[in-house]
Amino acid sequence: MSGSEISTELIDAYRATNYRVLGQNPFVLNIGQSSKPLQKLYDEHGCRSAAFITAWNPFSQPTDDTENSRLQALLETELLVVSTALFAGMGEDPSGQWPGEKSTLALGLSLTSAKSIGTRFKQNAFVWIDRDANPELLILR
């Protein structure tokens, strides 16, 4: 799949996903719906951008949990260098057809860095959230 186009069905699934931010004050990000809890995090951390990103299942191909965990740890190490704060997350299919993917909400990340990291970790897409705290799906290939 790494060289082929992303199917409309897969893009639709990404758009329908619940992007859950975990922690002390958990909340869910949905594509196209402005997030007051994220805006609050922006204010608390003095930033105006974020990316919700994962290293799990490169190119949306099922990968074993050990390898996924290894990749996610590498992703988080990279994100620590280029972001203001990290929050654990989980990308969840609302239909329950696909298992959740561990993810990270990275605050203060530039769009260029987010695209570069997503591409390096062989992701088809990631969620970008600009100053308006309105999540959008960005396709990487």
Task: Express each pLDDT in 29-50 by its tens digit.
Answer: 999 999 999 999 999 999 999 9
- Region 82-106: mean pLDDT is 95
Phi, psi of 72, rounded to the nearest 5 degrees: -65, -40
As for how many domains the chain has, the answer is 1
Domain extent, residue 30, equals 8-139
Which alpha helices (DSSP H) does 1-141 contain, by range?
Answer: 8-16, 36-45, 65-82, 111-120
Residue 71 lies in a domain: yes
Q: Please classify residue 72 by burial: count the beta carbons closer than 10 Å to its beta carbon, then call 0-12 exposed, 13-18 middle and 19+ buried.
A: buried
Q: Is residue 76 classed as helix, strand or coil in its secondary structure?
A: helix
Residue 118 lies in a domain: yes
- Label residue 118 by pLDDT band (50, 70, 90): very high
- Region 108-123: mean pLDDT is 97
Residue 39 lies in a domain: yes
At 56 the pLDDT is 98
- The Cα 93–Cα 99 span in angstroms is 7
For residue 138, give both structure tokens. Answer: 């960005």
- Label residue 16 by pLDDT band (50, 70, 90): very high
- Label residue 141 by pLDDT band (50, 70, 90): confident
- Label residue 1 by pLDDT band (50, 70, 90): very low
- Label residue 2 by pLDDT band (50, 70, 90): very low
Cα angle: 58, vertex 80, 102; to 5 degrees: 40
- The Cα 84–Cα 46 span in angstroms is 9
Residue 3 lies in a domain: no
- Label residue 61 by pLDDT band (50, 70, 90): very high
Residue 2 lies in a domain: no
Residue 75 lies in a domain: yes
